[in-house]
């Protein structure tokens, strides 16, 4: 299990990239310390892979277009395939440690079209009503699943038969999740076209953030009207398109400040934020410090 304090994304989108995945073993385990992440949060993103997690310490907030859930230490859950979400800690002072299994559904489903995939995997991954399956220790049945999840992180890659034991453990957890989720899965499902629209608009912004971007251009990326564009951003991300563009540019600037020696002026223009004076103003509002102070703190590992 590797320690993680930042995530990577596919070029031009906010679909998370998993460089450790191998074609013959689409799985990775990580220990995420969110209080050490840049900005102390993980921005809106999605991934085809399933995210199974356990909160070792701290309190985590998961946000999706449908709402928010709080996960204190000892709780956990599963984020479904392709669900748009963001996470942040609930308190600035506490240590926030999260254990994660990230895996492609095929890891337990086997060959595409298999009976296992059709009967047990797809009913969950294709269910729009099952964005996040939350588990809390106060419920005896959920507590048992949480114990199984936590124990599964004790498997070692050096153990004989590790790959088979891991798939067995994840399959056991999956069938337990399936069992407690059956009432939810039996509810009438619906196709969430809004989710597809917001992703298309986000991808457009991620590809053109360095340029001037207009609301009609963002809306056109999802074949929508300007009014629909504002509604989708409000309903899904709880902000306006302009606010999202500005925040994304500032997030990009944070990474450039931490990872490069580019001048403040160059970073400002590269992120579509215009003059260095304007950049300094909005950056301080966003982070509480100047760009140079942020660079110094991050590169000295004080953030």
Task: Report the chain's mean pLDDT, rounded to a whole number.
Answer: 89
Q: What is the pLDDT of residue 303?
A: 45
Q: What is the pLDDT of residue 52?
A: 96
Q: What is the pLDDT of residue 267?
A: 94
> Residues 235-289: pLDDT tens digits?
999 999 999 999 999 999 998 998 888 899 999 999 999 888 999 999 999 888 8
147-161: average pLDDT? 94
Percentage of residues of the chain with pLDDT beyond 70: 93
Provide CB contacts within 8 A for 12, sequence distance 6+: 203, 206, 207
Is the Cβ–Cβ distance between 202 and 209 less than 8 Å? no
Least confident window among 11-25, 87-101, 227-241: 11-25
Q: Which residue has the higher pLDDT, 2 or 169?
A: 169
- Let me know if 12 is exposed, middle or buried by CB neighbors in 10 A (0-12, 13-18, 19+): exposed
Q: What are the CA-CA distances from residue 10 to residues 13, 16, 185, 192 (Å)?
A: 6, 6, 31, 23
Structure tokens belonging to residue 129: 């009503």
Q: Encode the chain in three state secondary structure.
A: CEEECCCEECCCCCEEECCCCECCECEEEEEEEHHHCHHHCEEEEECCCEEEEEEEECEEEEEECCEEEEEECCCEEEECCCCCEEEEECCCCCCCEEEEEEECCHHHHCCCCCHHHHHHHHHHHCCCCCCEEEECCCCHHHHHHHHHHHHHCCCCCCCCCHHHHHHHHHHHHHHHHHHHHHHHHCCCCCCCHHHHHHHHHHHHHHHHCCCCCCHHHHHHCCCCCHHHHHHHHHHHHCCCHHHHHHHHHHHHHHHHHHHCCCCHHHHHHHCCCCCHHHHHHHHHHHHCCCHHHHHHHHHCCCC
190, pLDDT greater than 70: no
120-144: average pLDDT? 94
Distance (Å, rounded) from C-alpha 82 to C-alpha 259?
A: 28
> Residues 60-83: pLDDT tens digits?
999 998 889 999 999 999 999 999
């Amino acid at each position: 299990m590797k320690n993680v304090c930042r995530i990577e994304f596919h070029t031009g989108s906010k679909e998370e990239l998993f460089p450790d995945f191998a074609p013959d073993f689409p799985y990775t385990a990580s220990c995420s310390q969110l209080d050490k992440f840049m900005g102390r949060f993980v921005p809106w993103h999605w991934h085809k892979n399933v995210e199974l997690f356990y909160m070792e310490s701290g309190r985590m907030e998961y946000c999706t277009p449908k709402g928010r859930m709080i996960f204190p230490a000892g709780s956990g859950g599963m984020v479904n395939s392709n669900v748009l979400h963001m996470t942040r800690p609930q308190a600035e002072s506490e240590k926030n440690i999260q254990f994660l299994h990230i895996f492609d559904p095929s890891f337990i489903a086997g060959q595409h079209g298999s009976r296992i995939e059709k009967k047990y995997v797809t009913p969950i991954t294709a269910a729009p009503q099952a964005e996040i399956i939350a588990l809390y220790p106060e419920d005896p049945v959920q507590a048992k699943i949480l114990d199984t999840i936590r124990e599964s992180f004790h498997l070692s890659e050096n153990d004989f038969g590790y790959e088979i034991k891991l798939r067995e453990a994840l399959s056991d957890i999956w069938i337990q999740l399936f069992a407690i989720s059956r009432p939810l899965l039996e509810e009438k499902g619906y196709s969430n076209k809004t989710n597809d629209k917001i992703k298309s608009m986000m991808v457009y912004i991620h590809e053109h953030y360095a340029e001037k971007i207009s609301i009609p251009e963002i809306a056109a990326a999802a074949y929508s009207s300007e009014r629909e564009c504002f509604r989708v951003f409000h309903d899904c991300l709880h902000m306006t398109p302009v606010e999202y563009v500005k925040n994304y540019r500032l997030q990009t600037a944070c990474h450039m400040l931490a990872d490069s020696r580019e001048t403040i002026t160059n970073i400002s223009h590269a992120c579509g934020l215009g003059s260095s004076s304007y950049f300094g103003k909005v950056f301080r509002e966003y982070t509480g410090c100047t760009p140079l102070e942020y660079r110094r703190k991050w590169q000295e590992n004080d953030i």
